[in-house]
């Protein structure tokens, strides 16, 4: 049985060139990058070259890139340090954020008495800019706004420019979880209005367990991990050298082929939308995921008019991996808090949502197999 992977928003298959670069480093690197001898200096140079490469690809300064263990840690570092160092008293966010942001801000509310408020959503999960403006207007408390660039479940792209302008108007700090977007859009950090952003290598065909925080120059945050002076004293602990090499290689490759890959994946998503509409006329697309301009080209989220907690599992038995329910838990069957936040609870009760997410290795035949399998399952269930 062919195995078909359409869960790239959860993680992406690592590219051969990335594995090769990592293997070379594993074999070559003996020293601890903090050691002053030649072995250490050599390994340090690998890390610093990787930082320069990443910074160049994002038009950032090398000093603005802090390597972490992934997107979750990057979000934690930024949010917790900002509260600690900028005396942030209020965080504005949305119910559609990844748990790495939502649970962190709730923890800050609980333990640091930060006031957390959710910005109102308009139809399809669009952030209500007027509500954000009003909420920012109504306080003099130091505030941070955290809103993700591309939603990992429904694909919605943030109106970064207007949200950035609104934050600037009221002097609020702006963090964006860019985990799904890095490697998929040419992000120019010198122009984007973020103070902070986060990334994760396994979302752009790099290894899991490594990512980075973008912290704009001179913001002067202190670390949350202490016990060493690594990462310009922003993150203690001997660096994940091989992971960092893999991250830089993966980002470099993603950016090199960005336009070409984007065009191909976009065409695949469009093909999937039209094939699904034809085979399953009752299909509903969640959020903005079928809007080719306002959603990321890798994510499509659908609802089907039956309640079936095992649908993802049944597709898995047919060799097809998509995601059902909460983020990063394909086949778990639990309903998604993102879809729940978007929809009328009565409607959600009788529907099943699936996230289909594409990557550079997918082909039309993968979409054909998915649509065929879904159609067969729906017919079996009397639809
Ligand atoms: N933020 C978003 C939007 C994500 O999609 C993910 C991964 O699912 C994360 C953060 C967490 O990243 P990591 O798996 O590297 O900790």
In tens digits, the chain (383 residues) has pLDDT values of 789 999 999 999 999 999 999 999 999 888 999 999 999 999 999 999 999 999 999 999 999 999 999 999 999 999 999 999 999 999 999 999 999 999 999 999 999 999 999 999 999 999 999 999 999 998 899 999 999 999 999 999 999 999 999 999 999 999 999 999 999 999 999 999 999 999 999 999 999 999 999 999 988 889 999 999 999 899 999 999 999 999 999 999 999 999 999 999 999 999 999 999 999 999 999 999 999 999 999 999 999 999 999 999 999 999 999 999 754 444 455 678 999 998 777 777 889 999 999 999 999 999 999 999 999 999 999 99
> Running DSSP on this structure, what letter comes out for residue 120?
P
CA of 210, closest atom in ligand 1:
15
The backbone torsions φ and ψ at residue 285, rounded to the nearest 5 degrees and listed phi first, read: -100, 130
**From CA 213, how far away is CA 78, in angstroms rounded?**
7
Give me 299's structure tokens. Answer: 């994510």
For the chain, helix (H) and strand (E) counts, in that order, are 13, 13
Residue count of the chain, please give it.
383
Task: List the catalytic residues.
Answer: 328
Q: What is the pLDDT of residue 2?
A: 83
Nearest CA to ligand 1 atom 12: 71
DSSP classification of residue 125 = G
Q: Is 179 in the pocket of ligand 1 (CB under 6 A)?
A: yes
321 Cα–ligand 1 center, Å = 18
Would the CB of 258 count as within 6 Å of ligand 1? no
All residues at 6 or more sequence positions from 160 whose CB lies less than 8 Å from its CB, including other chains: 149, 176, 192, 193, 194
Coil/strand/helix, residue 154: coil
Burial 337-352 (b: 16+ CB within 10 A, else e): bbbeebbeeeebeebb
DSSP 3-state assignment of 271?
Answer: helix
71 lines ligand 1 (CB under 6 A): yes
Read off the pTM.
0.96
Q: For ligand 1, what atom is nearest to the CA of residue 70?
A: 15
For ligand 1, the distance from its centroid to the CA atom of residue 72, given in whole angstroms, is: 6
For residue 327 and ligand 1, the question of a CB distance below 6 A is answered with yes
243 lines ligand 1 (CB under 6 A): no
User: What DSSP line would sit under 185-239, residue for residue?
Assistant: B---TTTS--SEEEEEGGGTTS-SS-EEEEE-TT--PPPSS-SS-HHHHTS-S--
Strand duo 211-215 + 65-68: pairing? antiparallel
Q: What is the per-residue pLDDT for 326?
A: 55
Question: What local confidence, expressed as pLDDT, does residue 279 receive?
Answer: 98
Q: Are 193 and 161 in contact (CB under 8 A)?
A: yes
CA separation for the pair 262, 245 (Å, rounded): 24
Beta carbons within 8 Å of 167's beta carbon, 6+ residues apart: 136, 145, 173, 174, 193
Beta bridge partners of residue 30, listed in sequence order: none
Residue nearest to atom 4 of ligand 1 (CA): 179
Per DSSP, 64 falls in state G
User: Does residue 248 contact residue 54 with C-beta atoms inside 8 Å?
Assistant: yes
Closest CA to 302 of 278, 321, 283: 283
């Amino acid at each position: 049985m062919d195995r078909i992977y359409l869960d790239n928003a959860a993680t992406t298959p690592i590219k051969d060139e990335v594995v090769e670069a990592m293997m070379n480093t594993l074999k070559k690197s003996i020293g601890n990058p903090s050691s002053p001898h030649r072995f250490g200096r050599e390994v340090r140079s690998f890390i610093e070259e990787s930082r320069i490469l990443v910074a160049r690809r994002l038009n950032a300064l090398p000093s603005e890139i802090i390597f972490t263990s992934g997107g979750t840690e990057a979000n934690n570092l930024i949010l917790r340090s900002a509260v600690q160092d900028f005396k942030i008293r209020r965080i504005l966010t949305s119910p559609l954020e990844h748990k790495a942001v939502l649970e962190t801000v709730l923890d800050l509310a609980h333990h640091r008495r930060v006031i957390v408020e959710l910005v109102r959503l308009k139809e399809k999960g669009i952030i209500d800019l007027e509500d954000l403006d009003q909420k920012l207007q109504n306080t003099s408390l130091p505030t941070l706004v955290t809103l993700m660039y591309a939603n990992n479940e429904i694909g919605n792209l943030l109106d970064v420019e207007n949200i950035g302008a609104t934050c600037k108007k009221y002097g609020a700090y702006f963090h964006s979880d860019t985990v799904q977007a890095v490697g998929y859009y040419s992000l120019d950090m010198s122009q984007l209005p973020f103070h902070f952003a986060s990334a994760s290598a396994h979302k752009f065909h790099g290894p899991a367990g490594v990512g980075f925080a973008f912290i704009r120059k001179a913001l002067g945050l202190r670390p949350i991990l202490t016990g060493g002076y690594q990462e310009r004293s922003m993150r203690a602990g001997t660096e994940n050298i091989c992971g960092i090499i893999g991250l830089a290689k993966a980002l470099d490759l993603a950016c090199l082929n960005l336009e070409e890959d984007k065009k191909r994946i976009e065409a695949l998503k469009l093909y999937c939308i039209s094939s699904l509409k034809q085979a399953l006329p009752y299909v509903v697309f969640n959020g903005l995921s079928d809007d080719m301009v306002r959603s990321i080209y890798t994510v499509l989220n659908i609802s089907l008019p039956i309640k079936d907690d095992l649908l993802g599992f049944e597709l898995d038995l047919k060799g097809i991996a998509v995601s059902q329910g909460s983020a990063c838990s394909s086949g778990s069957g639990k309903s998604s808090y993102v879809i729940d936040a978007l929809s009328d609870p009565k409607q959600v009760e009788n529907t099943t949502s699936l996230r289909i997410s594409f990557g550079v290795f997918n082909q039309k035949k993968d979409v054909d197999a998915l649509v065929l399998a879904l159609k067969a399952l729906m017919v079996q269930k009397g639809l």
